Amino acid sequence: MLHDSSEGNRSFHYGFLSQQPLASATLGIETVKLGHSTEVPRNVNMESLQSGYLFPEISMRESEHIRKHPDARLIRLGIGDTTQPIPDIITSAMAEHAFALSTVKGYKGYGAEQGNMALRTAIADKFYKDMGIEGDEIFISDGAQSDISRLQMLLGSNVTVAVQDPSFPAYIDTSVIVGQAGKFLKETGKYRNIVYMNCRPENNFFPDLSTTSRTDIIFFCSPNNPTGHAATWQQLKKLVEFAKANGSIIVYDSAYAAYITDPSPRSIYEIPGAREVAIEISSFSKFAGFTGVRLGWTVVPEELRYSNGYPVIKDFNRIVCTCFNGASNIVQAGGLACLSPDGFQALRTVIDYYKENAKIIVDAFQSLGLKVNGGKNAPYVWVQFPGSSSWDVFAEILEKTHILTIPGSGFGPGGNEHIRVSAFGHREYISEACRRLKNFL
């Protein structure tokens, strides 16, 4: 989308901002005279977090670019942020719920921490039909990002973790925060105790499991952020078998499942046996344009057990009740409207709009002779530039076309030689971006 002031308070998508150290200008820390210090030790895990070389650097380059080209109409295809209005039927349900809170009859205080049962059941019916998932196994959240960190609190520091490389940064960052990750090794760009599962075009974005070390937890995102690849049924079957053989738990992120239009599984629970080895995290953000409204869910099947036989769902329930107090009742009313026949149909139109954007972007890069992945079952297009640093490509595109993308290496060393291009945006800006790409690259 074009640069406009409504976006002024936020330079980056959440995954990115999380790698951005607090600007001293914002907080004025530099101006504070050093006085009293407490004797409270800084958490060593927080010290291990990489302060994020990449994203502050992008932010700086963006500002620099605007300074250098004050009249250029910057188009941002970096942020994975929804841009299209939410269908009326959904916002009306939220407004109605809000109004009702001003009436004696409609007022509600605390709801269940796990979420309204009507919504939990509706999610089970809509997304997990015939997969044996019940409403009781679904926990409503204020978004996937919050539940990733609650899951990490649940798991604690004594589990080992594997992630796809490249991957959405929150998995690794929360892993570092709870103390699972070990030391960051500058020479490899990796944390010592994390297993990185390389996912590249060469292996159809699926790791060679015969050479992958066993870990307790396997984070797996499909359709993937950033590559846009939706894992196939065969790939997920292998993953579930691998987890079962190793006694691992898969934490499956299906936040982009609504973008799948081919027969790829939309849930890990489409795979037989997954209920015994997988947790699924999902979200209304990209499915319903709820990025700012905040709603998500996590599925923990009853069959999932720790090594001592204790049900994981019991501990997760305890975490949700202790560390969370339920998603907003107004927002949950909106979630229920999303799953009504008319709401769901209206959302399909919005998703199709972004998918058409993705197709336009894919076509543009392909017409330049580039190898492109993603964009088919996901709102992200993953463009390959063999032999080039993703940083150089990012800079060249910005300089020549005034289009902001994200260098793939921001998602881990495995993302190098790629850029991620987001298909979220108004069509006119997407089209304009593609015109520029074709003319200037």
Asked if 418 and 205 count as a contact pair (C-beta separation under 8 A), the reply is: no
Binding residue for its own copies, selected from 5, 68, 70, 109, defined by CB under 8 A: 109
Instruction: Find how far residue 69's CA is from the centre of its chain.
Output: 32
Rounded least distance, CB 127 to its own copies, Å = 20
Q: Is the dihedral of CA 363, 369, 374, 379 positive or negative?
A: negative
384 sits near its own copies (criterion: CB under 8 A) = no
Asked if 288 and 136 count as a contact pair (C-beta separation under 8 A), the reply is: no
Q: Which of residues 15-34 bind its own copies (CB under 8 A)?
A: 17-18, 20-22, 26-29, 32, 34
Q: Which helix (H) or strand (E) holds 249?
A: strand 249-253
| Residues 6+ positions from 109 with CB-CB distance below 8 Å | none
For its own copies, which stretch binds (CB under 8 A), given 63-71, 166-174, 261-269, 413-421? Answer: 166-174
98 sits near its own copies (criterion: CB under 8 A) = yes
For its own copies, which stretch binds (CB under 8 A), given 125-133, 229-237, 239-247, 380-388? Answer: 239-247
Binding residue for its own copies, selected from 146, 254, 405, 422, defined by CB under 8 A: 146
Binding residue for its own copies, selected from 65, 111, 121, 132, defined by CB under 8 A: 111
Asked if 61 and 398 count as a contact pair (C-beta separation under 8 A), the reply is: yes
Tally the residues of the chain: 441
Q: What's the token pair of residue 240? A: 């579930």
Closer CB to its own copies, 199 or 218, in the complex: 218
13 sits near its own copies (criterion: CB under 8 A) = yes
Closer CB to its own copies, 86 or 433, in the complex: 86
Q: Tell me which amino acid residue 42 is.
A: R
Binding residue for its own copies, selected from 63, 157, 261, 345, defined by CB under 8 A: 157
Rounded least distance, CB 257 to its own copies, Å = 19
Number of residues that bind its own copies (CB under 8 A): 127
| Residues 6+ positions from 25 with CB-CB distance below 8 Å | none
C-alpha 360/C-alpha 363 separation (Å) is 5
Partners of residue 283 on adjacent β-strands: 296
Tell me the CB-side half-sphere exposure of residue 111, using CA atoms within 13 A.
20
Q: How far is CA 374 from CA 158, 321, 377, in A?
A: 35, 38, 7
Closer CB to its own copies, 179 or 182, in the complex: 179
121 sits near its own copies (criterion: CB under 8 A) = no
280 sits near its own copies (criterion: CB under 8 A) = no
For its own copies, which stretch binds (CB under 8 A), given 246-254, 261-269, 360-368, 390-398? Answer: 246-254
349 sits near its own copies (criterion: CB under 8 A) = no
315 sits near its own copies (criterion: CB under 8 A) = yes
340 sits near its own copies (criterion: CB under 8 A) = no
C-alpha 243/C-alpha 424 separation (Å) is 34
Binding residue for its own copies, selected from 133, 197, 304, 358, defined by CB under 8 A: 304
Q: Which of residues 36-65 bind its own copies (CB under 8 A)?
A: 36-46, 49
CB crowding 169-194: b at 16 or more within 10 Å, else e: bbbbbbbbbbbbbeebeeeebbbeeb
Phi, psi (degrees; rounded to nearest 5) at 404:
-95, 125
Closer CB to its own copies, 288 or 378, in the complex: 288
